[in-house]
Amino acid sequence: MAQRPNLLSHFQNLVVESQNRAMAQDKYKFVFTANEAASEGVTEPIRLPKLIRKAMSLARGPISKYKIGAVGRASSGRVYLGVNVEFPGLPLHHSIHPEQFLVTNLALNSEKGLRQLAVAISNDCIEFGAPCGNCRQFLMETSNEIDIKILLKSKHEAEGSFGKLKLLLPYRFSPDDVLPKGSPLLLEKRDNCLILSRSAGEICSSDCSHLKCKALAAANNSFSPYTDSPSGVALRDEDGIWYRGWYIESVAYSPSLGPVQAALVDFVARSRGKGFDKIVEAVLVEKNNARVSQEATAKMILDTIAAPNCDFKVFHCDVDFQKSILVNSDR
Ligand SMILES: O=c1ccn([C@H]2C[C@H](O)[C@@H](CO)O2)c(=O)[nH]1
Ligand SMILES: [Zn+2]
């Protein structure tokens, strides 16, 4: 009989431990189903701020110490968090803004569009402001940008209201000014029909664990209609988990996001708080003699932030013209 209370408290401890573990896991959550978002209080667009503190707590701003967060609902109904990411030792223009983080994560999760967005600009989370110029441009280049609404709320207002992205960026330079009519935009499905060059060694047909194949798959999603220089990056951390991202170009060039940054968005979103120094392997796939080559920049970024002995390899790819003809005739 004397053992019973012990057994009970042992069970209670187990329950508390598993609850704590679940809470600890939640702490790093960047993507919420509609139901999960509702249980956080995000039941309607005006309630997006309910998740803003979570977003801010996940920011990585060791240089500025600023924690900026974004919360956005995608057209699927899922809710995504975005954060600012800074890299000590690197020039500031390599930093990632929360809106760009969020859009990149939408792309990585095959989302078709963004509906509403809230960006906190003050530490007390009571002011919600407009994205900076670069981010307005980046957001404007996504498909369905016409639907994007942004929460604007001063500290004097209880709830604020949504404004159309279009109003924040009138007279813009848009993909329509450059691309042929009907070209797929950012967040639209694409296949660049790339295959690894012969020099890359064996070619795998199905589910393999080669980082170069993950990077190739990423490059096949790359959005690079302005320079035709698609590229993808895959990373592996010391626990063997892999991450990937692809180069996303902007028609205005400077707001473009490099493939390492895109893979780092995946890393920040899924690594449960790991430091960049836990990255031990990286692969870049790009075209040989690409008009825009990522190799030097990727090496420089990884040399600065990844594990000191991080293995970085580059593989080249070519267009599979037969597949390309098939894919383009389907369009
Ligand atoms: O509109 C802005 C301005 C700044 N930042 C971030 C970038 C950097 O991490 C930090 C300091 O500028 O704040 C944003 O995310 N959005
Ligand atoms: Zn910005």
User: How do the domains of the chain map onto residue ranges?
Assistant: 31-177, 194-330
- Give the pLDDT of residue 1: 45
Atom from ligand 1 closest to the CA of residue 61: 9
3-state class percentages of the chain: helix first, strand second, coil last, to nearest 5: 40, 20, 40
Centre of ligand 1 from the C-alpha of residue 69, in Å = 10
Average pLDDT over residues 163-177: 95
Task: Report the distance separating Cα 150 and Cα 161, nearest Å.
Answer: 8
The correct answer on CATH 3.40.140.10 for the domain covering 31-177 is: yes
Pick the CATH number of 194-330 from 3.90.1280.10, 3.40.50.1980, 3.20.20.80, 3.40.140.10: 3.40.140.10
Q: Where are the beta strands (DSSP E) in the chain?
A: 31-32, 69-74, 79-83, 114-120, 149-152, 161-164, 194-196, 231-237, 242-246, 279-287, 311-319
Q: Of 277, 185, 265, 184, which is closest to residue 218 (Cα–Cα)?
A: 265
From the candidates 99, 111, 141, 145, which is the catalytic residue? 99
Task: Report the distance separating Cα 49 and Cα 70, nearest Å.
Answer: 9
Average pLDDT over residues 4-9: 65
Q: How many CB atoms lie within 10 A of CB 293?
A: 16
pLDDT tens by residue, 12-65: 777 667 666 565 558 999 999 999 999 999 999 999 999 999 999 999 999 999
Average pLDDT over residues 123-136: 91
pLDDT tens by residue, 224-242: 999 999 999 999 999 999 9
Average pLDDT over residues 144-163: 95
Task: Report the distance separating Cα 136 and Cα 100, nearest Å.
Answer: 9
Task: Report the distance separating Cα 112 and Cα 143, nearest Å.
Answer: 7
pLDDT band at 209 (very low <50, low <70, confident <90, very high): confident
pLDDT band at 137 (very low <50, low <70, confident <90, very high): very high
The reply to whether 99 belongs to the active site is yes
- Give the pLDDT of residue 324: 85
The answer to whether residue 70 scores a pLDDT higher than 70 is yes
The ligand placed nearest to the CA atom of residue 129 is: 1
Task: Report the distance separating Cα 272 and Cα 41, nearest Å.
Answer: 23
Please list every protein residue whose CB sits less than 6 Å from any atom of ligand 1.
61, 64, 66, 68, 84, 86, 95, 97-98, 132
Same fold for the domain at 31-177 and the one at 194-330?
Answer: yes
Task: Report the distance separating Cα 108 and Cα 31, nearest Å.
Answer: 11
pLDDT band at 122 (very low <50, low <70, confident <90, very high): confident
ipTM beyond cut 0.90:
yes
The one-letter amino acid code at 94 reads H
Average pLDDT over residues 91-99: 98
- Give the pLDDT of residue 205: 67
Q: Atom 4 of ligand 1 has which residue's CA nearest to it?
A: 97
- Give the pLDDT of residue 10: 72
Return the percentage of the chain with pLDDT > 90, whole number.
83
Structure tokens at 60: 């990585």
Task: Report the distance separating Cα 143 and Cα 134, nearest Å.
Answer: 17
Q: How many CB atoms lie within 10 A of CB 321?
A: 10
Q: In Å, what is the CA distance from 233 to each residue of 294, 298, 302?
A: 10, 9, 11
Average pLDDT over residues 176-181: 96
- What angle, rounded to 10 degrees, do the helices at 211-221 and 259-270 form? 110
pLDDT tens by residue, 252-305: 999 999 999 999 999 999 999 999 999 999 999 999 999 999 999 999 999 999
Atom from ligand 1 closest to the CA of residue 131: 1
In the DSSP assignment, the letter for residue 223 is B
pTM to 2 decimal places: 0.92
The answer to whether residue 243 scores a pLDDT higher than 60 is yes
The answer to whether residue 201 scores a pLDDT higher than 80 is no
